[in-house]
Amino acid sequence: MATYAIVQVDVNDADEYAKYAELAGPAVAKYNGTFLARGGKVEVKEGTSRARCVIIRFDDMETAQTFYHSPEYQEALSYALPVSERDYKFVEGI
């Protein structure tokens, strides 16, 4: 079953976060992820959000988990986590 990473991010240091982006994209591709939304306009109708929203499709939950814990993505996160506030979740699709 397809699984979607839903990520909402507030970036506090764009230069440092750019290092994350350089590494994260290739890591997503390596695990057959597809970006469906990546930092476009966000219009909140209910609740709250962060400035940047990303949606990535993975083949299944196992692949999504393998991606997240991979050495490639963990290296990318080492640049993102200190300079951002993030909400990151995986949701199984239909």
Q: Write the DSSP assignment of 40-84 as a string of letters.
A: -----SSS---SEEEEEEESSHHHHHHHHHSHHHHHHHHHHGGGE
Where does the pLDDT of residue 61 fall: very low under 50, low under 70, confident under 90, or very high at 90 and above?
Answer: very high
The rounded distance, in Å, linking the Cα atoms of 85 and 93 is 25
Instruction: Supply the pTM of this predicted model.
Output: 0.93
What percent of the chain has a predicted confidence (pLDDT) above 90?
94
